[in-house]
Amino acid sequence: MRKISIHGPGDYSVLKLEEHPDLVPGEGEVLVDVKASGINYADIIIRWGLYESAKKFVGWPITPGFEFSGIVKSIGKNVTEFKMGDEVLGVNLFQCYASQVVIKPAFLFQKPKKMSFDEAAGFPAVMLTAYHALFQNVVVRKGMTALIHSAAGGVGSSLVQLCRIKGIKTIGIIGSSHKRQVLEDLGCDHIIDKSTEDLWKKVESFAPQGVDLAFDANGVETMKESYKHLAPCGKLLVYGAHSMFPKKGGKVNWAKLAADFLRTPRFNPLNMTSQNKSLITFNLSFLFGREDLFQEAMDDLLKWYEDGKLQCPSVKVFPMEEVGLAHKELESGKTVGKLVINP
């Protein structure tokens, strides 16, 4: 088998394509020949050595990657949910930048026939993140207004779609004009291009009383204002801090990271109580002990996809040998949809 290994933190050069012995499934496990692996911003933070669950559960060396699609090659004892030849998609706690993955059946799902392998590899991580943020952390009510940062990206475009399914009005924020068409095609109610428009004045014009939900993975760049623009009972959901990290060069600017850390707003629970606003944060990689949450989410997401209510993010494909280039493009902040690699 082939896989990408990282033996220590660094830039794109630390992504090493290596040959390893083929995997063998143990009891209660499934071996999948991987057709495509999804790339997420978390993989970049893993490469820098800053991803907490990677340090806690694996250390160095590590093979990044949370999602994949492929064909079942063999099954271990006591596996009844899958058979050899099944076309599947799945999520795993790392190890997915590889030509083979061994996985528990609880995190493996039948691939819809009309979904390509490349689309399937880019589907679960962003959709699960959006689903968990919206439905497993919030009591959703029709007529809410949601502010979505990076709305043309993988998680952002997923949130736009999920909000529409539940009758939530969406305000999508993009950082460059070429991303507008993506949100128009998804039916986003209001679009703000912060490269040409006054972001917060536009938010106030669309939601004079404030927004009910704000989804923010930017960090210090927007977090304080996102919270400020919540309506009473509003919730700020934070699942990343991308603005603290570089957009080119592949290396962490430690001085900027430290400065941004110090500038990150601190939220006082007494003030939050009087303001009647909430902060919710999460990291999906720490949820692998909650099989019930994954199953609930994927059951709904795949059904909505089959019913035509949900579409896969657009996908750009790289060969595994160009994984460094894929990381470079994702870091730039200019991409739309998802990037995947083919082993």
Number of domains in the chain: 2
> In this structure, are residues 213 and 144 in contact, taking their beta carbons and an 8 Å threshold?
yes
Within this chain, do residues 269 and 338 fall inside the same structural domain, yes or no? no
> Each residue of 305-314: pLDDT tens digit?
999 999 999 9
Question: How large is the average pLDDT for residues 263-288?
Answer: 92
Asked whether residue 326 is assigned to any structural domain, the reply reads yes
How does residue 335 score in pLDDT terms, banded at 50, 70 and 90? confident
Within this chain, do residues 167 and 267 fall inside the same structural domain, yes or no? yes
CA dihedral 29, 31, 36, 41 (to 10 degrees): 40
Within this chain, do residues 270 and 193 fall inside the same structural domain, yes or no? yes
Asked whether residue 270 is assigned to any structural domain, the reply reads yes
Within this chain, do residues 336 and 233 fall inside the same structural domain, yes or no? no
> Each residue of 90-148: pLDDT tens digit?
999 999 999 999 999 999 999 999 999 999 999 999 999 999 999 999 999 999 999 99
Instruction: Check whether 251 has a pLDDT greater than 90.
Output: no
Within this chain, do residues 227 and 331 fall inside the same structural domain, yes or no? no
Instruction: Check whether 13 has a pLDDT greater than 90.
Output: yes
> In this structure, are residues 312 and 306 in contact, taking their beta carbons and an 8 Å threshold?
no
| Structure tokens that stand for 147 in this block | 């502010």
> Each residue of 24-74: pLDDT tens digit?
999 999 999 999 999 999 999 999 999 999 999 999 999 999 999 999 999
Within this chain, do residues 150 and 264 fall inside the same structural domain, yes or no? yes
Asked whether residue 317 is assigned to any structural domain, the reply reads yes
Within this chain, do residues 277 and 146 fall inside the same structural domain, yes or no? yes
CATH number at residue 15: 3.90.180.10
> Each residue of 210-250: pLDDT tens digit?
999 999 999 888 999 999 999 999 999 999 888 888 888 88
Q: Helix, strand, or coil here: 189?
A: coil
**Average pLDDT, rounded, for the chain:** 95
Within this chain, do residues 234 and 333 fall inside the same structural domain, yes or no? no
- Domain range for 334: 2-125+313-342
Within this chain, do residues 164 and 35 fall inside the same structural domain, yes or no? no
pLDDT at 148: 98
Within this chain, do residues 112 and 207 fall inside the same structural domain, yes or no? no
pLDDT at 333: 83
Would you mind telling me the total number of residues written for the chain in this entry? 343
pLDDT at 217: 93
Within this chain, do residues 31 and 100 fall inside the same structural domain, yes or no? yes
Alpha-helical segments (H) within the chain: 41-47, 52-57, 117-121, 124-135, 154-165, 180-186, 199-206, 223-228, 254-263, 269-275, 291-306, 323-332
